[in-house]
Amino acid sequence: MSRTIASLLTLLTATLAVGALGTTSAGAVVPEPPRPAFYEAPAVLPGVNGAVIRSEKVAFLLDPLDATSLVRNAQRVLYRTTNRTGKPIAVSGTVLVPTTSWIGPGTRPVIGYAPGTQGMADRCAPSRQFSEGIEYEGLGIEALLQRGYAVAMPDYEGLGTVGVHTYMDRVSQGRATLDVVRAAQRLSGTGLSSSSPVGLMGYSQGGGAAASAVELASTYAPDLRVKGAVVGAVPADLAKVATALDGGLYSAFAYFALRGLSASYDVDLSPYLNDRGRAVSDQVETECVFDLLNHSFVKSSTLSANGQPMSALMAVEPFRSIVEAQRIGTIRPTVPVLVTHSAIDDVIPYAVGKQMARSWCDRGANVRLSTNLAPGHVGGIVPQTTEALPFFEARFAGLPQLSGCWLI
């Protein structure tokens, strides 16, 4: 989700409003505009997860003299991962490696950096936004690159590539994050390898993806040398998050989740929505995060067929089981985790993040919860980025984390 108010306002003013949409059913995929050929998957995918299908240099629109290449190797990748159902799919992403030599112990670490909310449309994919100079995650990534770490960022399932972005699908997002790290290690010219130590990091949607990745790492990607994870403002309980979002400034995020999860689980939303609701469901699939004001302060009860809010819909099947399957905190991470959250977060309730941390502790994980008073959800990224640097420094040096579970 959003990083800085200034960046968001810049994006809002620089982006044209979404145009009129054709009529489609809410259960169908809205016709997608043609995407660059790079993002089209081959008929036959490689046989292993994390295999690189293709790569290309990232061109920066705001860097016509290519000065950026003097300080980092930036490549766009298309790689194989596995979605929630176990189907092999192609997902795109970005790999950034400083050109300076790594001066720390061992080989250069790589951070699997799960991005926050970008939107639902293919044009929102971070690997495309970087080239256009409007990817807000660059603010958080820059500090990691300056430290000398490589960064591997997924676009997630259906974001940039064919199909609907399965927004908030816990398993799909976690696997895409782990597999982009594998892809980075296999990418030629980066100096990375399977021996590279790995960190996982993300905030908001990215916090959920990184948290899922650290839960899944020991079973899905035991080959990765994961040393720790920093996760911020994690939407670990979607039912509570959706209730908090309903009718507020960030209502669009709840509609992204409804659309994305219904696509992942092949649920036709049409019977549950009225005409306006079906139009909104189709519209959000064409939008990026800087279009969020299109749906601000829209109550979900005005979009449903029976006039009830989304929280009521999530309480009945099939949605109850789908939402419960996205809960984070039920699998013990096997490496240290730093959880950050603002106590006055206005998007992801602080209690949600704290409960996730407590649940991990109850399962025997090494967890430290760092509570801050940053101004709202947007402000919370600042202390997370600040705390992530010494956390990774210590983990990559082989130092233990003193568990803070007794304080949670």
> Which amino acid type is present at position 220?
Y
Q: How far apart are CA 309 and CA 381, in angstroms?
A: 30
Mean pLDDT of 64-82: 87
197-203 and 225-232: which strand pairing? Answer: parallel
- Residue 139: predicted pLDDT: 79
| Residue 19 scores a pLDDT above 50 | no
Question: In the chain, what is the straight-line distance between the N-terminal and C-terminal CA atoms, in Å?
Answer: 25
Q: Look at residues 326, 331, 137, 334 and name the one whose alpha carbon lies nearest to residue 234.
A: 326
CA Rg, the chain, in Å? 20
| Residue 6 scores a pLDDT above 60 | no
Q: How far apart are CA 137 and CA 150, in angstroms?
A: 15
Using one digit for the tens of pLDDT, what is the confidence trace for 43-61?
999 999 999 999 999 987 6
* Mean pLDDT over the full length of the chain: 90
Question: Which of 20-24, 107-111, 288-292, 321-325 is predicted least confidently?
Answer: 20-24
Q: Look at residues 265, 224, 230, 260 and name the one whose alpha carbon lies nearest to residue 49.
A: 224
Using one digit for the tens of pLDDT, what is the confidence trace for 342-392?
999 999 999 999 999 999 999 999 999 999 999 999 999 999 999 999 999
Which of residues 26 and 238 earns the better pLDDT score? 238
Question: How confident is residue 20, by pLDDT bands cut at 50, 70 and 90?
Answer: very low
Strand extents, DSSP E, 236-311: none
SS3 state of residue 63: coil
| Residue 295 scores a pLDDT above 80 | yes
Q: Which fold has domain 5-237+324-407?
A: Rossmann fold (3.40.50)
| CA geometry: angle 131, 132, 134, nearest 5 deg | 115
- Tokens standing for residue 115: 């991005």
Question: How confident is residue 131, by pLDDT bands cut at 50, 70 and 90?
Answer: confident
Q: How far apart are CA 149 and CA 152, in angstroms?
A: 10
> Which amino acid type is present at position 297?
F
| Residue 26 scores a pLDDT above 90 | no
| Residue 22 scores a pLDDT above 70 | no
| Residue 169 scores a pLDDT above 70 | yes
Strand extents, DSSP E, 156-247: 197-203, 225-232
Q: How far apart are CA 322 and CA 9, in angstroms?
A: 34
What is the percentage of the chain residues whose pLDDT exceeds 70? 92
- Residue 18: predicted pLDDT: 30
| Residue 3 scores a pLDDT above 80 | no
Contact partners, residue 12, CB within 8 Å, separation at least 6: 290, 293
- Residue 63: predicted pLDDT: 74
Q: How far apart are CA 150 and CA 186, in angstroms?
A: 13
- Residue 8: predicted pLDDT: 34
Residue 266, Cβ density class (10 Å: 0-12 exposed, 13-18 middle, ≥19 buried): exposed
- Residue 62: predicted pLDDT: 67
Question: Which of 2-16, 78-92, 97-111 is predicted least confidently?
Answer: 2-16
Q: How far apart are CA 394 and CA 272, in angstroms?
A: 50
Question: How confident is residue 234, by pLDDT bands cut at 50, 70 and 90?
Answer: very high
Mean pLDDT of 75-99: 97
Q: How remote is the C-alpha of 122 from its chain's centroid?
A: 14
Which residue stretches of 117-169 are H helix?
126-132, 138-147
Question: How confident is residue 7, by pLDDT bands cut at 50, 70 and 90?
Answer: very low
Mean pLDDT of 214-228: 98
Tell which phi-psi region holds residue 45, choosing left (phi > 0), alpha (psi between -120 and 50) or beta. Answer: beta
| CA geometry: angle 41, 43, 44, nearest 5 deg | 100
- Residue 9: predicted pLDDT: 32
Question: How confident is residue 400, by pLDDT bands cut at 50, 70 and 90?
Answer: very high
| Residue 33 scores a pLDDT above 70 | yes
- Residue 59: predicted pLDDT: 80
The reply to whether omega before 383 is within 30° of 0 (cis) is no
The string of DSSP letters for 278-305 reads HHHHHHHTT-BGGGGGGGTT--GGGTBS
- Residue 29: predicted pLDDT: 58
